[in-house]
């Protein structure tokens, strides 16, 4: 696998993914019982937007930089920008948090986090970032295999009934990645059916995703929600025009929250002529 997220840190897909991730974390922490989070494709956890990789692509300019310049009023977007500010206060003005950092920021002392990263250099950087945080376990292993090995979660003899699984693969395997990811989600749901699962996916031509949507509907979740954001028309197979999250067993009223946030985010990133966002129940809650 050759993918390095440092080239894409802070882009429009990261912004969507991380805004929704914080909403999921906040829903979990509203209840006092401890929770567990698994990040299957964690990356290095912390990025520098002035590093060569990020500067080479400039993708953050159309992502987090635009949102920072937009000064949004939406509460969830403000929540996300507050997390960015906290990351930069700790790590410098060009720091950008990956999903492991955001999980550690949003969850509590009694919660536990497992982060999986297969690439040696990225896993080493991830371990260094969380060397002083006993809540976070870093595993250098395949993230899909972790869905079988680490679920249902038991840490230090404590069995966790509540939690979140984030699956954020690189999609290097083209169409095969959707098949692999959906199989992993099915395995994960069989082992930990009460958890919320979130799968990030890229959008090039949306019509090419119809088979994915049909297969996702068949997963054994109690409810299945799509949240999608486009920054340009979905008419080119050669570039990522947007992205989405497949949310299995989403928390109560998350759809109401995202119904307000997604249009505000689209306007901030793509202007008043932004393509429509999509928030759709593939399987409504009963």
Average pLDDT in the 210-235 region?
A: 95
CB distance 58 to 7 below 8 Å: no
The yes-or-no verdict on residue 274 having pLDDT over 80 is yes
**Res 159: pLDDT:** 94
Give the integer Cα–Cα distance in Å for 12 and 275.
Answer: 14
Q: What is the pTM of this model?
A: 0.97
Average pLDDT in the 196-204 region?
A: 96
Average pLDDT in the 204-214 region?
A: 91
Q: Which two tokens stand for residue 238?
A: 């050669």
Give the integer Cα–Cα distance in Å for 158 and 193.
Answer: 18
Catalytic residues: 168
Mean residue pLDDT across the chain: 95
What percentage of the chain exceeds 70 in pLDDT?
98
The parent domain of residue 106 ranges over 5-283
The model's pLDDT over 85-140, given as tens digits with 9 standing for 90+, comes to 999 999 999 999 999 999 999 999 999 999 999 999 999 999 999 999 999 999 99
The yes-or-no verdict on residue 35 having pLDDT over 70 is yes
What is the number of structural domains in the chain? 1
CB distance 108 to 52 below 8 Å: no
CB distance 242 to 229 below 8 Å: yes
CATH code of the domain containing 174? 3.40.50.150
The yes-or-no verdict on residue 174 having pLDDT over 70 is no
């Amino acid at each position: 696998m050759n993918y390095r997220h440092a080239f894409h840190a802070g882009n429009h897909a990261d912004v969507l993914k991380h805004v929704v991730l914080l909403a999921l974390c906040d829903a979990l922490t509203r209840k006092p019982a401890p929770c567990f989070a698994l990040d299957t494709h964690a990356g290095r956890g912390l990025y520098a937007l002035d590093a060569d990789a990020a500067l080479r692509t400039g993708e953050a300019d159309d992502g987090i930089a635009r949102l920072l310049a937009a000064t949004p009023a939406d509460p969830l977007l403000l929540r996300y920008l507050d997390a960015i500010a906290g990351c930069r206060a700790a790590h410098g003005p060009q720091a950008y948090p990956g999903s492991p950092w955001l999980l550690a920021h949003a969850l509590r002392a009694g919660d536990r986090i497992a982060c999986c990263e297969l690439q040696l250099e990225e896993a080493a950087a991830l371990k260094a970032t969380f060397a002083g945080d006993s809540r976070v376990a870093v595993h250098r292993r395949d993230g899909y295999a972790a869905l079988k090995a680490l679920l249902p979660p038991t840490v230090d003899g404590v069995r966790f009934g509540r939690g979140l699984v984030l699956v954020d693969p690189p999609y290097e395997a083209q169409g095969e990645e959707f098949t692999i990811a959906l199989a992993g989600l099915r395995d994960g749901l069989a082992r930990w059916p009460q958890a919320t699962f979130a799968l990030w996916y890229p959008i090039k031509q949306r019509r090419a995703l119809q088979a994915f949507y049909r297969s996702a509907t068949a997963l054994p979740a109690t409810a299945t929600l799509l949240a999608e954001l486009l920054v340009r028309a979905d008419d080119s197979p050669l570039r990522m025009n947007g992205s989405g999250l497949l949310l299995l067993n989403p928390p109560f009223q998350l759809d109401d929250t995202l119904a307000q946030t997604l249009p505000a985010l689209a306007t901030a990133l793509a202007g008043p002529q932004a393509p429509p966002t999509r928030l759709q129940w593939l399987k409504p809650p009963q």
